[in-house]
Structure 1
Amino acid sequence: MSITEPAGEVRRRSSRLFIEMEQLRSRLNRFDLLENYIDNGMKDEFIALFRELFTVEVSLFSDKDGRWFGLELFFRMSAFYLAYMNKRRLFEGLDSSAIQAEKMLSPDEHASWREMIDYFCELGAALADYNGRKQIERTNDMIAKVHDYIHQFLHEELSLTKLAGIVYLSPPYFSRLYKQMTGQGLLEYINETRIYKAKLLLKTTDRKIHQIASEVGLESAPYFSRLFRKRTGFTPQEYRDSCKP
């Protein structure tokens, strides 16, 4: 405190600091929402909320009480990230340059309050980005697994319930996820696969139309013919005839 500083100004600044500290303590209870954004790879949402919660007037934390509270905030944030990464075993998966563990463990590694806040924001963003990439990889693996099943067992029933069960997801969720990732519905992909195989069989074998229909998973020959014509512009027989030399 400066000798020339009016006492009323000191009281006002202390009051502001007290209010700011209490608000920040209450915001620390919203780490569950920040954690949800990290888990779901929602990087932009995480950054926006983190900045909203922890952007403060730095000058308020220049006195003794403010510095002690800065330490409190540092260790609570540090504990959150340390627990998060330990539980999910992320220390091995993430690039060490993204973590900069020494900055997570020691407040002395930060030159200022703002630098500390920036570090923890960037760390959360890096974790969200990592989780987002992993989710895409896992989703692509699931879709590849379902596609492989469809190609192997095209002649069998291929209900949404059965295919979702292969990757242990609920049918509605898997249907939405599939369309989000591929841009088409699951039934559309199945029918495309059926028509592709039917065209191959029509060109390379002399099997009857109803046999081919059964082999691609459609027991009704009339329905197969309608679907084939809708997709290709030809009936199965017309397509077979057009492929003859």
Structure 2
Amino acid sequence: MNGTAFSFTLNGTGCLALPSGALFVPSEDLLCVSDLHMAKSERMARRRGIMLPPYETRATLDRLGQDIATTKPRCVVALGDSFDDLAASEALDPEDRDRLLTLQEGRRWVWIEGNHDAGRNAHGGEGGECLAVAGLTFRHIATTEPTPGEVSGHYHPKFGLPGFHERRPCFVVDARRLVLPAYGTYTGGLDAREPVLRTLFADRALAVLTGPRALPVPLPTARPLSRRA
């Protein structure tokens, strides 16, 4: 990974936050991604009549394929909201479906259920509400009182460097838990300082920004109040 990843330890397990927003656990040859939201354009058209370019799933799978080629994992964990809903998973383009199955070949693939895609899908692999591996517990939504080593997604955290307007998808991590950024192409984000997310973490937490390299920065304890004119 050529020094572009950020190395840290969570509950005694060495982890790498990759610039793409994926997590790699070298001791387990495990790659984890969260909130792919595949086939979101299909759901937006079906439910709201909003037409978006229908290429987000392909772009997401291309990036995932690159991370798989780089890390060569024995196990891939998709940490929930992999599809924008279960109907969207059934409507997946045949070419994207074939690509997804190709990525699964020769490795364990675990679909963690999310709030968008609770229930089994028909795209191979195995499913469940959580997975415990090597001192880490993978689930979609963080619990109020975490099991040490909790890894989750759901919030789509974003953060930016002080003085810059651009916010990037980011990991949020402290000594107890980790929240992954959204990996999908059509995904928004929540400021990592918002109380619903920030209060899950200790005062000394890091935001690890995605981009050309994974960049760790201290995460303030609260989002600044907007100034009134």
**Fold match (TM-score > 0.5):** no
Question: Which structure has the larger Rg?
Answer: 1
TM (norm. structure 1) is 0.19
Larger RCO of the pair (alpha carbons < 8 Å, separation 6+): 2
Using the size of structure 2 for normalisation, the TM-score is 0.20
Higher helix share: 1
